[in-house]
Amino acid sequence: MLKNILTNEAIKALYKKRTYISFVLLTFLVPLIILAIGDGAEYMESRIYGQLKDSFIVIGSITNGYLSSYLIIAILISQMPFLSTIVASEIVSGEYSKGTFRMYLSRSVSRNKILFSKFIIVQIYTILMMLFFVFYTLIIGCLMLGVGDLAVFHKGLLFLPQEDILWRFFIAFIVSTLVMIATSSLCFMLSTIYKNSVTPIIITISAVFIGSAISFIPIPLFEAINPFLFTGYIDLFLAAFFDPVPWEVIIEATFVCLIWSGIFTISAFYLFNKKEILS
C-alpha cells in the first residue's frame, strides 16, 4: 500500500511544472556563471593574489572547473533554501487549497502513510536538487574550464591538490544537503498548517534569514545559540575545503540538522493527524 501511495505522490510531483523550476534555473544559470568566471579569470586572479604577486612568481592560471564550482556553490548556496521550498511548500497545502484532500482522505488509508509518502517525495526532491546543483556545477565547470589544483582561502591561500578535491565536494554536498533537508522539513511542516503554498515559503525563508543574521552578528547571546540552529550551517560546506577538515564541526552540524528535521517532521505528523478538512 505504501508503495502505491508513494507512486501516486511521485506521479503528482512529476506532472507538476514547479517541480522542474530549480533544475531548469540551475541548468541555465550555472554555465552562465562559469562563462563569466572564465572570462574574468585574469581580473579575479589578480584580486585573489593581491599583494602576493609582489613576492611570488605565478605561472599558469588557478581558474579551473574546481575553482569555478567552489565559487558557484559559495555564491548560490544561500539561495538554495528558496529552491528547496518549492515542492515542500505546496505538497500538503496545495491539496488543502484545491480540495483534493476531501477526496483523498475520505478513503480507507491512514493519514500517516499519506503524509509519510509526501515527506519522502519532498526529501528525494531536496537530495536530487542538491545533487544536481553540486555535481552538475562540477561537471560543467570541468568541461568548460578544465581541471587542476584548487586554490581556496583558509588561514591564507591554500592549494588543494587535484587528487584531493572530489571527495571534498562530496562532503560539501552531504553537509549542504543536510541543511536543505532541515529547511525543507520546516517548510513541509508549515505546509500541513496553511492552506496556501506562499505562506510556508515566506515563513521558511524568514526563518533562514533570521537564522543567518544570528550567525553573522557577533554578540554573546547569538554566538551562544547559533551552534544549535540549522541555519548557522548554511555555509558550512566551505569547511569541506579546509585542511584539515574540521570533522567535529561537521558531525555537530549533522546532529543539529537531523534533530531539527526530526522535530519538524514529527510536528508535521501531529498537526496533519489533528487537521480537520473543512474546505
Which residues sit at the interface with other proteins, rule CB under 8 A?
1, 4-5, 7-8, 11-12, 15-16, 98-110, 273-274, 276-279
Nearer to other proteins, 104 or 222 (CB): 104
**Which one, 114 or 172, has the nearer CB to other proteins?**
114
Q: Which is nearer to other proteins, 4 or 79 (by Cβ)?
A: 4
Least Å from the CB of residue 111 to other proteins: 9
Widest CA span of the chain, in angstroms?
75
Tell me how far the alpha carbon of residue 140 is from its chain's centroid.
Answer: 19
On whether the CB atoms of residues 268 and 257 are closer than 8 A, the answer is: no
CA–CA dist 258, 260 (Å, integer): 5
Which residue's CB is nearer to other proteins, number 36 or number 277?
Answer: 277
Whether residue 81 is preceded by a cis peptide bond, meaning omega within 30 degrees of 0, is: no
Q: Which is nearer to other proteins, 7 or 162 (CB)?
A: 7
Rounded to the nearest whole angstrom, what is the least distance from the CB of residue 124 to other proteins in the complex? 18
Q: How far is the CB of 159 from other proteins (least distance, A)?
A: 51
- Cβ atoms of 132 and 126 within 8 Å: the answer is no
The b/e string for 167-195 (b: 16+ C-beta within 10 A; e otherwise) is ebbebbbebbbbbbbbbbbbbbbbbbbbb
At its nearest, how many Å lie between other proteins and the CB of residue 13?
11
Task: Supply the minimum distance, in Å, between the C-beta of residue 103 and other proteins.
Answer: 5
